[in-house]
Amino acid sequence: MGGKVAVPDSIAEAFKKASIGILVMIGIFVFSGVAISYIKNMPVGEAISFALAFATHSGDEFMAAGLALKSIYLTLSFAVSVLIFYIFYILIDISISGKIGRHLHGVKRMNRMKKMKNHHIICGAGRVGKNVGKKLAEKKEKVVFIEKESDVINALRRKGHYVYETGPIDEEVLVAVGVEQAKSLTASLGDDGKNLLLVITARHLNPKLTIAARIMDAELISKFKHAGADLVIIPEAVGGIKLAEALLGRVDHAHVIKI
């Protein structure tokens, strides 16, 4: 499990820019300490500590200092104030711009999905839906997944897939992923009732759409047919048939693993 933790680009950029300001500030303190050490004839370490103390407040020491020391004090105080402002500005700016960038990227992605044509919509990226989308993508077909689980969504997006993140899938969601211009829709949720409603809604929105559905109860096949499904699959039944054929010597190596 010892994978490398990915740091968001905005945070990494913030630390990178802020570190420049911090290094410059350290350089100013060191330079000022050396100068104070020379003028006041004190150890460099003590002079740097003196400079750090002065950067936070001024007192009698400043009023009694000569012109050279006053110049160093004023320069140090001004530089520290500017650098502190710079560091906070960079951190805030990068943080805000990162959030805006992610939002704009999401908006662009949504607009692309809505404008797609002749693509395939996969409702539910579980064991069935994920493999349907994978096979279609291998054939260079355009695929859009609709999914609610964040881990699944992130995994799909890392592979370059379009994913619409949502819970319940209603008419508004289907329109958002361009169902009216789509080539097909696969209802592969883990609930027959939800898949049936998806089929009805999708057929209403696009009469020419090819609709496939994953079901668990074979007795519902006729209902899915009347609802508008063109293709129906019962994964458990298909698996059982493939195993039976393998036992009879007809092994489908693409679906049955012979050990």
Please state the domain extents for the chain: 9-109, 116-247
Amino acid identity of residue 189, one-letter, is L
Class of domain 116-247: alpha beta
Model pLDDT for residues 145-195, shown as the tens digit of each residue: 999 998 999 899 889 899 998 888 999 999 999 999 999 999 999 899 999
**Residues 44, 36 contacting (CB under 8 angstroms):** no
Tens digit of each residue's pLDDT (9 = 90 or more) over 215-249? 999 899 999 999 999 999 998 887 888 788 888 88
pLDDT at 254: 74
> Which backbone phi and psi does 258 adopt, to 5 degrees?
-95, 120
Reading phi first (left if > 0) and then psi (alpha if -120 to 50, else beta), residue 170 is in beta
Residue 7: pLDDT band with limits 50, 70, 90? very low
3-state per-residue secondary structure call for the chain: CCCCCCCCHHHHHHHHHHHHHHHHHHHHHHHHHHHHHHHHCCCHHHHHHHHHHHHHCCCHHHHHCCHHHHHHHHHHHHHHHHHHHHHHHHHHHHHHHHHHHHHHHHHHHHHHHHHCCCCEEEECCCHHHHHHHHHHHHCCCCEEEEECCHHHHHHHHHCCCEEEECCCCCHHHHHHCCHHHCCEEEECCCCHHHHHHHHHHHHHHCCCCEEEEECCCHHHHHHHHHHCCCEEECHHHHHHHHHHHHHCCCCCCCCCCCC
- What lies within 8 Å, CB to CB, of 165 at 6+ separation is 147, 148, 150, 153
Q: What does pLDDT average to over the chain?
A: 79
Q: Which CATH number fits domain 9-109: 1.10.3470, 1.20.120, 2.20.28, 1.10.287?
A: 1.10.287
Mind listing the pLDDT tens digit for each residue in 185-217? Answer: 999 998 999 999 999 999 999 999 999 999 999
Tell me the whole-structure pTM to 2 decimals.
0.58
Token representation of residue 76: 């140090």
What's residue 167's pLDDT? 83
